[in-house]
Structure 1
Amino acid sequence: MKIQESMIFKIKMVLERFWNAFWTLLITIYVFFYHKITGKSPEPVSTIQIPRKLPDVIPEEIMIIHGNNFQNVTNKFFKDTDEKMSESGSLALKSEPKNVEVNVEIGKTDSTVYRKVPDKPEVENLSIQFSGFADLPSGSQEVVSEHSTTEFSTEFPKALLSPTQFEEQVQNLKIQHRINMDQMKLESAENLKKSYMKFREKLAKDEEENEKELRELDREIEEFEKETRRIIEEKLLEIRKMNLAFFQCLLLQRKWEMDEKKFSKFLDSIREPISRLKARYSLFEKVLKTQKRGKKEVLKRELTSLHGSTYYAYQSVYEGWENIKKLSETFSDRIFLFILLKTLVNVSDKLFNILNSIDNFMNRKRSLEHIREEFSKLEAMDIPQTCRLREQSEIEPLDTLNFRASPRFYKISSSVKITEV
């Protein structure tokens, strides 16, 4: 396809040369005969510009035009050339290239640039001067003048950028791109530094707030444990007194209704340590949720404290079971005593399981979830009130009088140290 288009282009150039030579010869003959007839030597008044040399081959840059653009450009070029030459009959031919814009692909990018095909080889103008024009008739001079001002333009693509200039622009773009990338990296580093500083400030603020919350919790826990130890000691002393008074009442064979109020206080003294233990466990969970750093040390400290509160509750229930067991052995026909024995054994075993799960966690045999599971089974209302105990005594089967089970006895492990006040 390229060879065929090149041949057509060469043929057109040859025809154009013959056409220019024909007009030159015609003008020369006209001047010669005018000189013979008039005998005058005309002054040179016009210059005919004829291309000395035209391109013999199609410039290489034209070959990169997309699709049929090359064919359209060459057809337009030769069509305009033929029309201008046929209409003007010009005596003075002047080469005036026009700019033709073509699409050129660079590399593999999608972007296109508009370039003008370089006008190589260059066209040199040959000036031919004729004498005898000064004495030409006015009509003839007008004809010559008319032909002199007529332009013969060849629409041949001319380059906008040379290869060297194009390379310079590419290098400039690369340098600019590198500068932009360095600027972006610098801005990114600054933004990263600002983000890091904000993160550190927020982290420091969070740590300060966390430390403040922990100090408040420590103070609350310390006050709670101090109050708990005081209450437990008072309740244990009260339990002993209640047990003695209740035992004396039973020895005197007093009725249940007369001693219900005192017995209710006895049950409350056993229930109170369990309620305090549940409240202490809530504080334990709150500390775990608040603590963010040094969690192992805090967890060990809190579990040790929780173990102590659990042991105090277990001790009060176990001692209550021992007292009720003595009464049930003396008054074997009182069914409410055996109902209470079953309840105290059940609650005591729950507390034993909690103590055992804490010990296992300390020895890395069980997880923290096991402790949570055991605490979820314990409720303060497991110790019945006197009204419920009375109602249950009426429907409880007589087989309950044969209840002889005992709660599991807990022995303090060496891994947990309990400090008594």
Structure 2
Amino acid sequence: MVAPSIGALPSAFMLDQHESIRRRLLTELSQLPAQGNVMDWQGSLAAAIIAAEAAGVDDDREERKYHRHLLRVLGDGLVHNLIPPHTIRALEPQVRRPPSLSAQHEDFEFVMETAATVYSYGLVPIVADLTTLLGTGDLVCTDGRQIVVFECKNRLAPTLVSGSGRVARQRERGERIERYLSTSSLRDENGVLRVALNMGGEHPQPNWPEVEALLRRCQSAPSGVGLLTFARGDYLLATRPTDASVAEQLDPVMPSAESMTLPAAAHYASLIDAATHDSPAPCNYPISADLRVELLERRILLTRVADMSLLDAQFEHEGVEIHLVTERRREGFTVGYGAEGQGDSEFLPSLVEYGLWNPIALSEMREFLIASARLMAGYHRGGIDPTVAALASGDRFSYATVYTDGSMTSINNLRDLGVRMDVPHDNS
């Protein structure tokens, strides 16, 4: 046996230490908010990220960088727990480049102090820099009825509000988001109308006990494989590494794609690197903590294999036959809908692929699309503009800037919140 080199030991030790930290934080996250304290947990998360920003003994920069990313993925778990998906989408960062916490020094301390004060007033704050999904404001806060975004400025309030510079750009973006989320409609600087439509109901949701049962089967199966069959041509596969080759593992259970009209595969582990507003990383599923750890560390992988043509449908609406037709395009899968011989409207990939990137049966997604197509057909048949009549109800959403003297500037009047920002801070 050849002994490992001394130089290899620190890296292996660091990997073990990093995984231990992630396991602890993920286990604590799985118990929130019923057990534990949201602010204490975010304080621990911030401390772990700051520690990973410091140079290590072996200076494995890539390992520390990815560890920091995984820690922020855990922060995303808090976002998915507390913030509605369409709000997350509006607040997403324009560029996903994580900020350095240690480089912010007192500024980040002020953010955390402000978060603690907000928490004491009954709003649950999420520190945006501890996530990958939030890119507007320093704190995104909620009490379950409203969303308040705070920019935290570690200085006294200015006597005049500037119309230029970084602060002004932040304020302008916050104003646009507030208008959109409050009214469900906004015309951007290019003249494009962006609207949030009321599609008549919530998106289908996964059957989490069913997903957990699949993962347990994968854990216990000698082959290291578990299969969940939603329908013929619609599968969710769970795998863990074994001594067998991939082919030996999968061939006995893997359905053939040859019989599928529009085969598609989605590797859910890729969501760990780039989660979306409505497709969380699998480690943030509401399942047992030990399984979430296995998914985060990629010791269990989830893969969706589906025939997207299962979304196709024909149905009658008000005496008219309507078709749903799925098509593969360069940008993804779309579903056209409309009466035969008339121009089709489309559901875009952002909606169509929701059922692919989440463990939801395509049959449920098809029913949702049918209901949505019926709603839109009714508007079109009546000559009603859906971008006016079908707007989603606006959110209770506010955006504000907080300064060290406790003063606050905001776009709307925030007195109804009953929150007075009075953050003790040493300005010496």
TM-score with structure 1 setting the length: 0.18
Rg larger in structure: 1
The structure where strand makes up a greater share of residues is 2
The structure where helix makes up a greater share of residues is 1
TM-score with structure 2 setting the length: 0.18
